[in-house]
Amino acid sequence: MFKDEATRDLLHSRLKLNDDLTVRPEPVGDVVWYHIEAQRSGRFFRLGRAEYTFISFLDGTTTAAAAVGYTACELGPDAFTTEQAVSILHWLVENDLARSAEHGVTVSDTSVSSVRDARKAVERLNPLCLRLPLGNPDRFVEKLTVACGWIHAWPTILASGALLITALVGIAGRWSEFRGAARLVLSADNWLWLTLTWIALKIVHEVSHAVACKRLGGKVPETGLIFILFAPVAYVDVTSSLKFATRWQRMQVAFAGMYAELVLAAAALLLWTRIDSAAMQHFLHNVIVMASISTLLFNANPLMKFDGYFLLSDWLAIPNLAGRSNDVWRAFLRRVWLGQRTILGSKESGWRQGVLVAYGFAAFAWRISVMAGLLIAASTMWQGLGLVLAVLGCVALGSRGLGALLFSARRLLIQTPSQFVRAAFVSSVVGAMLVATLWLTPWPFASTAPGFVEHQDLAVVRAGSSGFVRSTHVVDGQAVVAGQLLIELENLELITEVNDLLAQIDQADLRYLKHVKDLKHAEAQIEAAHRDSLEKRLTEKRQQLESLTIRAPVAGRVMSRSLTTLKGTYAHEGDELLAVGDEGRKEFRLSVAQSDAARLAISKPVVFRLPSAGLLCGDVSQIAPHATQVPPHLALTAATGGSLPVRPVSDQAAGGERATSYEFLEPRVTVRIALDANTSNAIVAGAVGSALLPGDVYENLGEGLYFNTRRWVREQLVEATMKSTAHR
């Protein structure tokens, strides 16, 4: 029994439902649900039989308490309690569905209205997601439907399905070529064209929704843009489709956007197999990827309120799937926190109850991950301004829940103090359990650093003289001994020069003997000096000639993936041909952040993991004295599939050309881990893995989260400051 004045006044008040409400019953199995449309706000609601029976008595002359009695007489055991009736009255108040017959104003008091209005204002100003209406396109869509409505007719849909099958069959024989060319779509040089293609496809997507809705008798009262991180996404308002008689019509409207994009993807795919122009094929690739893969991953996702959500909701015959799942979870939380057995959200049973529970949990987890991703992305943008926007976004996201929580707590304290005490007690217990979990749980995340396997003493074999590769006598991975023949080069010009020098030496000998015979001692001395210079040149040329025969400098294993292609190629003096490394002397080279380098010390053990060998161990043999932004191996960088972020830099290469390389966003320290002979022989050079860094100083989960969050924020601020300074 309610004893507080506010609840008693609410039960004895005479409420009247708003005049703009329209009701449409819809049977779902053995249950009839009632769809309520608030025409002025364009919102839709769904009630069960008991709730609808109760609010139908709110005609402005009947008190809420009397309506509870009439409902009990009509429904008998299916009726609900006075406490549950108060919950429904508050629901009507919070959603502006009922007004006071005595005063002609909304029943909600000033505090309810102010909280709701403030909450909506904060949502509109959320910098992570801004909504910009652009007007009413209904008349334009009506004309467009007359011209293009046939696109959504069943004969056209069947023909589009045949087109898609034909395109898939046509690409099957050229799949390898198509997949290889698709790599260029995500290249850095293609982002502008990819973005323009995406914008054009999304316009087609939304127009298709509007035409499908208008063709089936609906209205399109609004269109506009939603800016997610200031990236524009078009939208059209087709909520009038909720009034359609069958769920199949609603599903047709929901699928219309994806249908249009898939038809374009099929047409582009078919054209790709018919043309030879590389530029045109690249353009079609953009259309295919954005109109098929991206739309299926984005629009077909049922965990967000896009096309896939409405398709799933109608297919399961659970209208307002997200709202109903929220009601189920809200009812559970009210039962735990307040001890209430609310009727809202409790009428689903069987498999539908399980679907609502599972969907509510999955959708909540997805929203958290998406919002976290948006906040992280925003914090790294615009040289520090993004971090400010991320903070504002957190405020905008949290203010709604915090405002609703404070208002509910105030209402509980005034109306039902006993429930307020219970909620405070349960919240204290849950908070204490959370604090205990953070305090008692050890930090589970060990810090890691990426690294790669390399030979300690790698002997690089280079061409001693220029020449063409005549033959190779080893293969990649072959074990060799010191002095073993590896490669033979050939230089006919060098051989000619040696023969010419031999001939010149013979002529010098003859001239020398002639001068001696003729007693020309001065000329004989000059000729002898000339012959000595020829001998020196001959010795140098013979050494160059001998260097064309390349032998192993040390015992080890040959490493060169290009040996099979070397034959017949021209090698300049000093060019690297291959390398020979001792398989028993390898090391694991780490790239460590400067803040983590202090954890490592010479001769201390480090555990690392390789995908092909599992966990291994070695001792620190060397720590570079200075950090560098030059990656020790490209396999560690994100540009080649590694984990470390890099940015491209251009260097002046030979011949005046620009060569692109990469550098770390911040300097890192290279650390060498020596391995024993058994470990070295068991792994291959070039393997990439990660090492566990010792010395995590976090005693529990809470401390680790706090310090890592603080460090991340500091790094973002430092990076933003550096970028801002660099642009001045």
Average pLDDT on 535-548 reads 88
Give the pLDDT score at 105.
41
Mean pLDDT of 213-234: 79
101 lies in the same domain as 157 = no
| Boundary-marking domain end, from 543, 578, 613 | 578
* Residue-level pLDDT at 284: 83
Kindly state whether residues 3 and 141 are assigned to the same domain: no
- Would residue 687 count as lying in a domain? yes
| Same domain as 52, residue 198 | no
CA-to-CA separations, 711 to 399, 478, 680, 716, in angstroms, rounded? 26, 48, 37, 9
Same domain, 636 and 691: yes
Answer yes or no: do 530 and 597 share one domain. Answer: no
Query: What pLDDT was estimated at residue 457?
Result: 76
Neighbour tally for 116: CB within 10 Å: 19
- Average pLDDT value over all residues in the chain: 78
| Mean pLDDT along residues 61-88 | 75
Q: What is the pLDDT of residues 664-692, one digit of tens each?
A: 888 999 999 998 888 888 888 888 998 88
Please indicate, yes or no, whether residues 483 and 508 belong to a single structural domain of this protein.
yes
According to the model, what pLDDT value does residue 482 have?
85
CATH of the domain at 690: 2.40.30.170
Q: In this structure, is residue 435 part of a structural domain?
A: no
pLDDT at 382: 54
CB-based contacts of 109, cutoff 8 Å, min separation 6: none
Confidence of residue 450 (pLDDT cuts 50, 70, 90): very high
With respect to residue 707, please indicate whether it lies within any of the assigned structural domains. Answer: no
Same domain, 173 and 254: yes
Mean pLDDT lowest for which of 353-367, 426-440, 501-515? 353-367
Q: How confident is the model at residue 113 (pLDDT cuts 50, 70, 90)?
A: very low
Q: What are 402's two structure tokens?
A: 């915090």
297 and 152 share one domain: yes
Question: pLDDT tens digits, residue range 407-438?
Answer: 777 777 777 788 788 888 888 888 899 888 88
- Percent of the chain whose pLDDT exceeds 70: 78
- Whether 386 is covered by a domain: the verdict is no
Quick one: pLDDT at residue 716?
A: 59
HSE of 200, CA atoms in CB hemisphere, 13 A: 13
Please state, in angstroms and rounded to a whole number, the distance separating the CA atoms of residues 228 and 498.
74
If asked whether residues 22 and 53 sit together in one domain, one would say yes
Does 150 lie in the same domain as 22? no
Residue 41 covered by a domain: yes
- Span 172-208, pLDDT tens digits: 777 777 776 666 665 656 667 777 888 888 888 889 9
Tell me the average pLDDT across 42-63.
78
> Which is nearest to 324 in space by CA: 28, 24, 65, 56?
28
Highest mean pLDDT among 89-103, 441-455, 477-491: 477-491
One domain, residues 633 and 551: no
Q: If you average pLDDT over residues 251-256, what whole number do you get?
A: 88
497's enclosing H/E stretch is helix 492-517
Per-residue model confidence (pLDDT) at position 588? 92
**Domain boundary at 527, 557, 578, which?**
578
pLDDT tens track for 115-167:
455 555 545 555 556 777 888 888 888 888 888 888 888 888 888 888 888 88
Same domain, 275 and 152: yes
Where residue 401 falls among pLDDT bands split at 50, 70, 90?
low
- Boundary residue ending a domain (516, 545, 578): 578
Exposed/middle/buried for 1, CB within 10 Å: 0-12, 13-18, 19+? Answer: exposed
Supply the pLDDT for residue 10: 65
For residue 521, give the CATH number of its domain: 2.40.50.100
Residue 590: per-residue pLDDT: 92
645-671 residue pLDDT tens: 888 876 544 444 555 678 888 899 999
Residue 176 lies in a domain: yes
Is 415:657 a contact under the CB 8 Å cutoff?
no
The pLDDT confidence band at residue 1, using thresholds 50, 70 and 90, is very low
Check whether 84 has a pLDDT greater than 80.
no
Asked if residue 424 is part of any domain, the answer here is no
* Cβ 712 vs Cβ 376: under 8 Å: no
- Structural domain harbouring 81: 1-108
DSSP secondary structure of 330-376: HHHHHHHHT----STT----THHHHHHHHHHHHHHHHHHHHHHHHHH
> Is pLDDT at 304 greater than 90 in this prediction?
no
Average the pLDDT over each of 6-10, 139-143, 617-621 and give the range with the smallest value: 6-10
Domain count within the chain: 4
Q: Does residue 718 fall inside a structural domain? A: no
